[in-house]
Structure 1
Amino acid sequence: MARIYHSSNARETTLSVAINASATTISVDTPVGYPATTPFVIIVDLGTSSEEIMLVTAVAGANWTVDRGYDNSTALSHDIGAKIVHGVAASEIDDANAHINATTNIHGLTGGAALVGTTTAQTLSNKTLTTPTINGGTISGGTISNATLASPVIGNFSAAQHTHTDAASGGAINAFEKLRMFVVGSMSVVPDTQTDVSFATGTFTYNVGPLWSAAKPTRILCPKPGIYQINVSDLTDSAYNENHVIDAYLVYYAGGAAGAGITIAQATNAITSGGSSQTFGLWKLHLGVGYACNAGDELGLRVNFNYGPGASTRSFFYRLSVYWSAPL
């Protein structure tokens, strides 16, 4: 409904020129106090058999453009001197009551748009929330930017960029957990042979955040461009003798290409005496590097164990973690 304007200071006036039932312009005698903005309502010949409600739609001094027979009244002829008063049409009151009781298509909205309550349970669609604070509730789908979420229930955070703590069941979920993958495993190797570790075989635990594929890879597939921090720790064999030597290499494969790849870090560790009485943790090898990768590149681990003369095929153990950070 269009707004209709009112004034508390409009004085009674009169027609200065007689009109017939079809005239759409009237001349009034010295109008005072009427609304400066149209439309507004007037009543001509109030309280007589010639009473008519008109809607003034334009004002040019004492000449007014009007809609005749407004609000179900009847357009009639009016004599010069007919009284004119500023009034209120019944439709205005009805519209106000209808608005109070309406739950859709209010405040100029159309298309079934619904009233949003502050405490009622409702489903919101196609809304843009700018820096909102959301307390509790269930969030599914959509894009929420710069929001403060207080204890929400989140149906699916797959592939989402987020940092938060105090997760359900007491777990802490943060950006680090999302952006890293972690492998603990073992693999059989032939002594004095460079062996590429396959993370898809052997016995291991494979733990990834949602940035990474859940498939167990032969090599670590980089899911997006960025800086990848690769760390290898506790690299050692299952049984050892003196004169053991471990060589370890972190290898980069551009675009996941086959071949030897590019060595991006290398370390060697050795134990030369003490035999099997040596403490197991004394010669664990540790290795790490940060490297810029594109999506589709791969990272691998290559090892060479020298067990000394007569050594047989044995297993070795390793721990490997990869952490992604945004490109510089």
Structure 2
Amino acid sequence: MNVLAAIPSPTQGVWELGPFPIRAYALCIIAGIVAAILITQRRWVARGGASEDVLDIAVWAVPFGIVGGRLYHVISSPDPYFGEGGDPLRAFAIWEGGLGIWGAIALGAVGAWIACRRRGIPLPAFGDALAPGLLVAQAIGRLGNWFNNELYGGPTDLPWALTIYEWTGTRAVVGPAGEPVVLGTFHPTFLYELLWNLAAAAVVVWADRRFRLSHGRAFALYVALYCAGRFWIELLRTDPAETIFGVRLNVYTAVVVGLLAAAYMVWQRGRPREVITRGRDAADTAASRDHAAPAVAPGTEGPGDGEEPGEGPRRRHEET
């Protein structure tokens, strides 16, 4: 096995900037969120929405999503926290990595629903604009797993095998010779998912343009495609996870959620694309403007009874 021919992994995932730790995992998550917001803004405006809607909704959806992602991770991989020798307090150490996408999407959707309701925006329409950006965000986020030397598959000597080091939690263990201790080369499942997500994002964009998907169908397509990829990638992973009858919990989740997404697409087929009204704030502004407009009696022509706007008040002032 030629380790030098394999894909290298970083030997450090955290850098100290004075008293502040700079964590690659966190930077990747933040970069993914920014990318999702920018892509969604472009798609939402193209659908008739207001650009500021996206940031307002993100303020609700992102914190909810982070909490949901962490909850799912802890539930699906409980041993490091509640197993023998585990530390329950580490369940709150989100900076160490560990976010389950299923929980992030589920609880993030709750936050998005609250924000959409406040702005008078239909959640399915916003989800359609969001779908490709989410996939790109997930792809960028997977780079955090690379920095942490985690979520790899079984051993392999394929040309794209991934070098994995013995890890302390923040950096590679250094041997007596001063070199990082290599555990071996493994399937880079983080890379498989990254590439799958980018390909799925392209498919969603193409299908949305080709078939003018609406009423949540673009979002459902995202879910179905992601689940299809996650199903086979999950079968390659070897990291600790909760299992049912010897099969990882995430495999069952991918099957159930993917089938539900496919069923939703069939259920909603043929519906025309929604007309976006630019949110509740725009509607309130328009209503206030209409309410404040002066009433004009039938047969009259405006402020000066037939004169140019503004001419009547000026003439009255001159005559006073």
Scaled by the length of structure 2, the TM-score of the pair is 0.21
Determine which structure has more spread, i.e. the larger CA radius of gyration: 1
Higher relative contact order (CA 8 A, sep 6+): 2
Between structures 1 and 2, the one with greater helix share: 2
**TM-score normalized with structure 1 length:** 0.21
